[in-house]
A and B are shown apart, each in its own frame.
Chain A
Amino acid sequence: MAIDSLVLGAGQEVGKSCVVVSINGKRIMFDCGMHMGYTDSRRYPDFSLISNTGDFDNALTCVVVTHFHLDHIGALPYFTEVCGYKGPIYMTYPTKALAPLMLEDYRKNMDRRGEDEQFTSDHITECMKKVIPVDLKQTVQVDKDLQIRAYYAGHVIGAAMFYAKVGDAAMVYTGDYNMTPDRHLGAAQIDRLQLDLVITESTYATTIRDSRYGREREFLKAVHTCIAAGGKVLIPTFALGRAQELCILLEDYWERMNLKVPIYFSAVRNFDRSLINAPGPCVLFATPGMIVGGFSLEVFMQWAPSEMNLVTLPGYCVAGTIGHKLMSGKPTKIDLDKDTQIDVRCQIHQLSFSPHTDAKGIMDLVKFLSPKHAILVHGEKPKMATLKERIQSELGIPCYCPANNETVTVPSTHYVKADASETFIRSCLNPNFKFSTYSSVDKSYLDSKYSKAASGLQVSDERVAEGILVVEKGKKAKVIHQDELLLMLGDKKHEVQFAYCFPMHTERLQKTRTEELPSADTLLCDLDKCTLINQLSMKLSNELSDANILDLGEQLQVESFRVSICSKNSCPHRLSHSVHNDSESVFLCCHWSLRDEKLAWKIISIMKSSSPHTT
C-alpha cells in the first residue's frame, strides 16, 4: 500500500495551493487555489492531471479547503462550475462564510481590470452550495473508509489543518498555519497522531522570527507618540486579518492607558468625511491596505502633508502602489497622476506582522507529529531544500519537496486484523514486567530515539509481546499465547538436546579400585559408578557453589545438565571413534538442553580438569 501525493500547485512556489492525495484508493484534493501572479493558464492548477476525461466526480472522493485565502480557494468556483466537479467539498464554518466575500471581491477586481471573467457571481453561489461545513475536531465520515478531521491552525479566522484517514493509513495536510499565537488567533493545535505523511507549508523555511512583542511595542510606541503630540494616525488595512489584530491591540492599549482619543473604522459603516479634518488627534482604519485607491488614498492625500501625522503600512505592498513607494525610501513628493502631486511629510511606520509559522515552528510541529514521511509545499525552492535537509538530519524523517505536477509516493501503514485467543487476552491483562540492564535489552522495545540511548536499569512489559501470530491458509490471522501453540498445531514439543561423551582418566580418582579390578575392559560395577559420580559431585559442588547439584546415584544433574558413565562401547556422542583404548579411562556421557549451554561447558571443563589429561 502507498500514498501518492500529486502536487498540482504550490510545489516549490507560493500560490495556487493544490495537492491531490491518493490513499488506499481514495483521492482527496487539498485546497484549490489560484496564483495571483499569472493571468494565463498558469493561474489555475492543471486539473487535467487528475482525470483526462474530465470525470472529476469519479476521480476524486472529496475536496478539502483549509482557509479562505485566494491562493487556497481561488480556483474552486472554476473547478466546480466550469470543470464540473460535483462531489463534496469540506471547509470550516468561518471559511464557508467568508470565502464568497473574498471570491466576489476578487471577481470584481478582475472585472475592473478588464480581464476575462473566469467565473461569475452565480458560479460562486452555486459552488458554495456544494460546501459541507465542518467543526474543529469533528470527525467526518466522508464515505465508508475515509475519515477527515479539522484541527485549529491559527493563521486566519477559520483556518484549519486537515487529518485524513483511510483504513490504517493516515496523513495531515496543514494548509497555512501559525505556531505562535497573536492577539486574535491562537497557535495551531493538534493531537499526537499516528501518521504516515505530513504535508506542511514552508513559507518561512529558513527564517526564524523574533517575538511578536517587539513589533507590537514599536507599533504602539509610534501610534502613542503621534497622538500624544496631537497627530492623526492612518492605518490602511484590508478588511480581514491584520485589521482585527491591530484593533484588539489598540483597544487593549487604549483601555489600559485610559486614552480618550477616538478610533474610527471606515469599513464598518459609512464614515462621516467631515471627521477627517476635525481638530485633535484620532486613529483611522481605512481600506484598502496598500493605498491603491478608495478611501485610504483619499485620507492619505489629506493627512500626508503634515509631519504630525502617521501612516502605518502593511508588511507587504505590491509594486506600483503608493504603499510600495512609501516603503522604498522616504519620498517627499508622490505623483499620483500628471496633475496631482502629494506632498509627503508625515511619518511612516511599517508593520511586519505575519500569520505564517517560522522555520522553528515547522520543525516543532513535525517533531511533535513525528510522521513517517513529510512533504513540503508552499515555499521557495532553495529555502525548502534547506529545511528538507534539516528535517531529514535532525528528526530522521524522510522529506520531499516536489515541484508542480510531480507525484511523490510514500509507503503507508497497513494493519492485518487478527483474532486473539482467550489465553492470550488473559495473559495481556496481567502485567508482566521485567527489569533488565541495557546490555540484554530486547531491541524491539526501543521505539524511540531516546530509549535507544537508555542505559542501566530498564523495564519492559512483555504482556503483548509473548503472543504468537498464526496465519493459516484461508483463515483469519490469530494471535495466541505461546502455551497454546502446540495444541493448535497438534504437534509435539521438540527440544534441542546436546550430548557429549568424553573419556576421563580415572587413575587418580580411583586408585584403589583400579588395582583390584582385573581389566579396564570390564565394566565398572554399579558401586564404582556411584563412587565416581559421588566424587564428581563433590568436586562440582566445590567449584560451583551456587548451582543446585543433584546426585541421583548413577547420574548427576545440574539444572538440565545430566552426566552419567557411558556403558556403551560406541557411543554416538563420542567425538572420535578412534580414541585410544586407554585402559584407565571411563567415558562420561553428558546431555543438556540449549538454555544451560554455558553451564554445561563449564561443568565439562571442570570435570576434564579434574582428570590429568584431556582428549
Chain B
Amino acid sequence: MEQHVMNSIEQSLNNNQPLSSQTLASLRSLIINPTTSDSSLSSLLDALTRSLRLTRDSVFLHHCLKLLTDLSARRPHLSPFAVDLLRSDSLFSSASPRLVGESLSALLSLTSSQNDIDAARFVSLCLGPSVPVRLWLLKNAEKFAIRESVLLAVFLGFTRDPFPYVRKAAVDGLVKLCKNGDFNDRDVIEGCYCRAVELLRDAEDNVRSAAVRAVYDWGKLLVISSEERNKQDSSDAVFIQLCCMVRDMSMEVRLEAFEALGKIGLVSEDILLQTLFKKVLGINKDKIYKPIKVFEISASAAAGAFVHGLEDEFSEVRMSACYSLHTFTVFSSQFAGEALNLLMDMLNDDSKIVRLQALNTMHHMATCNHLKVEEIHMHSFLSTLFDSCSVIRSATRKILKLAKLMKLELFKLCIDGLLGNLETYPQDEVDVFSVLFHIGRNHGKFTVLMIEEVSTELEPAFGGKLGFDSTRVAAFLVLAISAPLSNESDVCGVPSRIFSYAVTWLGRISYALSDVMNRETLLAYLSKCSRSSTISLADFKIKEALPTVKGDMPSHLCSEVGSPVSMPLWQKGVETFDHHHQKLFLGKSGTHLEYGLRECDELRQSVNLVFRKVKDLWSLVQLGCTNEALKAISRACKEEVASFTTDSPGSAGAVAFTLQYLRVIKLLAAVWEHLMPTKKLNCYGVGKLELLLGKLDRRLREIRNKFIGLSKAEELQILELIVVACLLRLSKIEICCYDTAMKKLSSIISHVEILRKGGPIEPSHFIIEVKKLLNDIGSSSGGSTCKPLLFKKLIDSFSLHQFVLGGSPRHINAELEVPGNDSENPLPFIPGIPASIPLAITLYNVLSEHRLWLRISMGEESTQFVFLDLNLIRSSDEVREFTFVAPFYLTPKAISFALRVSIGIECLQENVHQVKAFGGPKRELAYLCPEEEIFLCKSTKW
C-alpha cells in the first residue's frame, strides 16, 4: 500500500502534475496510520514540498495544510520539517486570506514559542478584505512577536471597523497592549483614551463593555502620565467617565463599569459622595474636569452611580456595586457613613449573595474603623441575626465583634438581637457567646449597666435554685464576666457572685470562648473574680494576662502602648498575685506559654492586616500618588502599630519588625516616586534621591540583620525588597555605581538561590525575571555597560506582595548607657592617654555567633571601633546585661570633648567590605541602639 501510493505520487510529480485529491486522501491515511515508516513519511514530505511548487490551487493548498498539521501532530520528530514547510512562502503568499489565516493558526498551534511573522505581513493580512481572518489576527496578535507600536496602530485603526466584533477585538487588543506595554507618549495615551471614550457610545453592547475596560486601563495610564498636580483631577475624570456607564441598558456593560469603578483607587471625596446621591451636590455643581485638552466632563455625571448600582435589576450588578463600595470606604469616613445608609438597605435584598456581600463590605468598614452604626440602621441590621441562612447570621456576628457603639440604647438593641438569635437558632450558641464576650469587652461600662438591669434574672429564684436551665442566663453571664477585661478603665461594677454563678457554666462558656482562653484560665479567672468583692490591682493584672483579641478589632480600642522591649509577662505580673494564684500560675506555666503563643497569633493577625493594608496602598504608589500612600503608611505606623501590646513574649519582636518594615516601605515609596516618568531629575533631585537610597539601604540592612527567627519565606520577601532597591539604584545612571550595585545584586540573587535549595519555597516571578536578566547581562557582555532601561522595565514589573508574618521574629536590640554621665558630670581624661569609658550595656536576643562592635566617634574626624567579645560575657542569649569598659585611644588635646557611642552588629550576610579604619569590622554595621553622647573633661587631678 505504502509503496503503491508513493509510486503514484512519484509519477504525477514527474509529469509535473499536481497531486490529485484522491492521492492526497491516501496520503492522509498514510499519515494517520501509526505503522507507516518514517522513511516513507519523509519522502512524503518531499513530495509535498515539490508539489507545492507546482500549483497554487487553493483547494490543494488547503489539503496540504491539513496534511502537514496532522503529520506534525502525530510525528513530533518530523514536526520541525512540517513547520518549515508551513512557514515557506507557498502557503503564506496564497491569494486566499482565509488559507493564510488557517496556516497561521496551524503554525501557532504547532509551535509553542512566539512566532516570527513579520509586521508587514501581519498588517497586510489585517488590512485584507477577509473579516474572519482579520478578527482572528486581532484576537491572536499577542502570539506573534510584533512591535508594540505596530500593534497599537493596528488596534487603534480597527476600532473604526464597521464590524462590531472586529471593533471589540481591537478594543480588547488595546486593553492587553496597555497592560503589557510600556507607553510613555502622552499623545498616544490620550489618543487611545479618547477613542475608548468614544466607543462608550457604540451601538453594540459588546463593544461598549470592552470600551469600559479600555477606558479604565488607558485611564490609569492617563493618570500616571499626568503632571503631579493634575493627577487627582485626571483620576476623578476617569472615574466620572466610568460612572456614566452605570445607567447603560446592557447588564454586561453595567457590571463591567462597576468592576472598573471598584478598581480606581484614587478619587476625591466630593466625587465619591456624589455617587451616593442622585441630586447633584452643591459642591459639584458646575465642576468641570478636563483630563486632556479640550475634553470636558461634568462632575454631575457621577450623580447617584452607586445608588443606581445598588438598586439594579440584576443581583450580579448589585453585588458588584456592593463590592466596589468597599474599596472607597477605606479612604473617607464620610463616604463610609453615607454608604452605610445604602448598605443597610441592601440587607433587605432578595438575593442572599447580595446580602452577604453587603455584610462583608460592612465588615471591611469595621476593620478600617469607618463603621458608624446608628439607630435607624439597627432594625435592618439586627434582623439579619434572624436570617434563615446561617452564613448571613455569622457574617453579622463577625461585624458585631468589632462594632463600637456610641449609645447604650444601641448596645441594648444589639444584645437583644443576639439573645433573640440564640433563642431562634440554638445552634449558634458558641458563636453568640463569643460575640457577647467580645462586645462586652469593647463596651465595659454599658455591660455593667446592662448587668445591673438584668441582675434579678440572674439571681437564684426559689430557695437558692438558679434558673440555670435558661440559655438566656448563660448569655448574660458571659456578658458579665467580660466586663472586668474591658479596655475601658475602671470598670468594676459587676457583683462578684455573678462570677461564681458563671463557674457552674464553665464547660459551655469555656467551649465558646476557646479562641480567647482555655478552661483552666477561665476557671482561675472566675474564681479570682468571685473571691474579691472589689476589683483589685490583681484583677487588673489578670486583665493584662489575658490575651486581648485584636484580630479584627478596631485598633483605637487598644490603648496600651507597651515598652519596646518584651519582658516575659509572668515575671512581672506574678509578683502581685497572692500566693495561691502564684502557685496556680506557676504550676501552669506551660499553659501560660500557650497563651503567650496564642496571643502572638492574634498579634500576628493584626500585624498581617497592617501588611495587607500596605500592600493595598502600594498600588497608589504605582499610580504615582506617593504622598497619599506615604500619609496612609505613616498613619498605620503611628496609630495602629503603636497600639499593639508588646507585653507578651515575642510580641515586641513582631511589632519592632512591623515598624521596621513600614519604614522600609515608606522609603521605597519615596524613592519610587523619583522614577515616575513625569518626574524630571534635576541636580537637587539627584542629591535627594541619593540620600533616600542611602537611607533605604541602611533600613534594609537593619531589617535583614536585626531580626532572628524569620522563616525562609519571610527572608525571601526581604531579599526581594533589597533586590528592588538595587534595581532602583541601577535604573538611574546619574546615581548608579554600576559595579558595586551589580555585585550586590548578584550576591543577593545567589543568596536567594541558597534559600531556595534549602527548602520548598518558590521565588516570585519578579525574582526569576531578575535572575534571567542577570544571566543575560553576564553572558552577553563582560563589560560594564549600563542598561538603565532594562532595569527600569524590571522595576515596573515589580508589585509588592503582602508580607505574611508566620513566626515571631526576635528583635536584636541593645541599650547603652553611661551611668551618671552628662554634660555637667563629665568623665575625666588625660590628653594623649587612652581614656576608659564604663558602659552599661543590655543586649537582647544577641546570639554568641553575632559580632558586635562599639563605634566610638569624636566629631566627624575620628572614629574608632571596639570589638565586644560576647564569649566573655556569661549570660543567656535573651537578655545580657553587663558593664563594659571601653578604651578610647585618641584623646585630643582639649579641655573637654564629647564622644558618640553606639553598638552595631556586623552584617554577616553582606559582602566583605573595605573599611577605612584598621582593625574595625570587615562588613557594614547595622546599629542596634541610638547613639549615646558621652562627655569627657580634662582631668585636673594628675
Contact = CB atoms under 8 A, between A and B. Distances in A.
Contact of A217 (B295, B304, B380): B380
Interface string A89-120: 00000000000000000000000000000000
Given A455-B194, A455-B294, A461 B249 contact: no
Interface in A254-282: 255-258
Interface in B386-400: 386-389
A456 B190 contact: yes
Interface string B493-537: 000000000000000000000000000000000000000000000
Interface string B306-339: 0110111100000000000000000000000000
Interface centre among A217, A225, A430 (most CB of B within 10 A): A217
Interface stretch (A43-51, A140-148, A180-188): A180-188
B628 interface: no
Contact of A187 (B128, B313, B344, B345): B313
Interface centre among A209, A256, A451 (most CB of B within 10 A): A256
Interface string B195-224: 101100101000000000000000000000
B383 A257 contact: yes
A326 to B, nearest CB: 24
B437 interface: no
Kindly state the interface size class of chain A when it binds its partner. 35 or more
Interface stretch (A121-129, A166-174, A189-197, A547-555): A189-197
Interface in B111-142: 126-129, 134
Interface in A445-459: 448, 450-451, 453-459
A457 B190 contact: yes
B873 interface: no
Contacts of B311: 180-181, 211-213
Nearest to A360: B278
A431 B126 contact: yes
B153 A435 contact: yes
B555 interface: no
Contacts of B128: 430
A64 to B, nearest CB: 22
Contacts of A451: 194, 198
B157 interface: yes
Given A208-B279, A453-B294, A456-B194, A360 B304 contact: yes
Nearest to A427: B129
B348 A253 contact: yes
Given A253-B348, A458-B191, A448 B292 contact: no
B156 A459 contact: yes
A252 B351 CA distance: 10
Contact of A181 (B126, B157, B158, B312): B312
A213 B156 contact: no
A455 B186 CA distance: 11
Given A187-B313, A456-B190, A433 B157 contact: yes
B234 to A, nearest CB: 14
B342 interface: yes
Contacts of B424: 258
A454 B157 contact: no
B249 A217 contact: no
B11 to A, nearest CB: 42
B379 interface: yes
A459 B191 contact: yes
Contacts of A180: 308, 311
A429 interface: yes
A461 B278 contact: no
A253 B349 CA distance: 9
A258 B388 contact: yes
A221 interface: yes
A454 B295 contact: yes
B151 interface: no
A50 B517 CA distance: 86
A221 B383 CA distance: 10
Interface in A32-69: none
Nearest to A193: B203
B190 A455 contact: yes
A190 B203 CA distance: 12
A426 B247 CA distance: 39
B198 A454 contact: yes
Interface in B36-80: none
The interface centre, meaning the residue of A211, A216, A461 with most chain B CB atoms within 10 A of its CB, is: A211
B350 interface: yes
A224 interface: yes
Given A360-B304, A450-B197, A456 B126 contact: no
Given A189-B249, A448-B201, A454 B194 contact: yes
B553 interface: no
A490 interface: no
A329 interface: no
A341 B485 CA distance: 61
Interface centre among A213, A221, A358, A430, by most chain B C-beta atoms within 10 angstroms, is: A213
Given A181-B313, A213-B311, A435-B156, A453 B296 contact: yes
Contacts of A225: 379
A248 B313 CA distance: 15
Interface in A199-255: 208-214, 216-217, 220-221, 224-225, 248, 252-253, 255
Contacts of A258: 386, 388, 424
Given A180-B311, A257-B388, A450-B201, A456 B292 contact: yes
Interface string B643-657: 000000000000000
A453 B193 CA distance: 12
B161 interface: yes
Contacts of B383: 224, 257
Contacts of A208: 278-279
B580 interface: no
B313 A213 contact: no
B361 interface: no
A215 to B, nearest CB: 10
Given A431-B161, A456-B292, A256 B313 contact: no
A382 B630 CA distance: 53
B153 A255 contact: no
B147 interface: no
Nearest to B278: A208
A224 B383 CA distance: 10
B159 interface: yes
A364 interface: yes
B129 A211 contact: no
Contact of B295 (A212, A360, A455): A455
A498 interface: no
B303 A220 contact: no
B293 interface: yes
B291 to A, nearest CB: 10
A407 B379 CA distance: 54
Given A431-B157, A456-B187, A221 B379 contact: yes
Centre residue among A187, A437, A453 by max chain B CB count within 10 A = A453
A429 to B, nearest CB: 4
Contact of A220 (B203, B249, B308, B348): B348
Nearest to A188: B249
B100 to A, nearest CB: 15
Interface of A: 179-181, 183, 186-187, 189-192, 208-214, 216-217, 220-221, 224-225, 248, 252-253, 255-258, 358, 360, 364, 368, 426, 429-431, 433, 435, 437-438, 448, 450-451, 453-461, 464
Given A256-B388, A455-B194, 20 more contacts: A180-B311, A181-B311, A189-B249, A190-B249, A192-B249, A210-B278, A213-B311, A213-B342, A216-B348, A217-B348, A220-B348, A224-B383, A253-B348, A358-B278, A435-B156, A448-B198, A450-B198, A454-B294, A455-B292, A459-B160
Q: What are the 5 A-B residue pairs with the smallest beta carbon separation, nearest first?
A: A457-B191, A213-B345, A461-B160, A433-B157, A181-B313
17 contacts: A181-B313, A211-B307, A211-B345, A213-B311, A216-B348, A255-B388, A256-B388, A258-B424, A360-B304, A368-B247, A430-B128, A433-B160, A435-B153, A455-B194, A456-B190, A457-B190, A459-B191
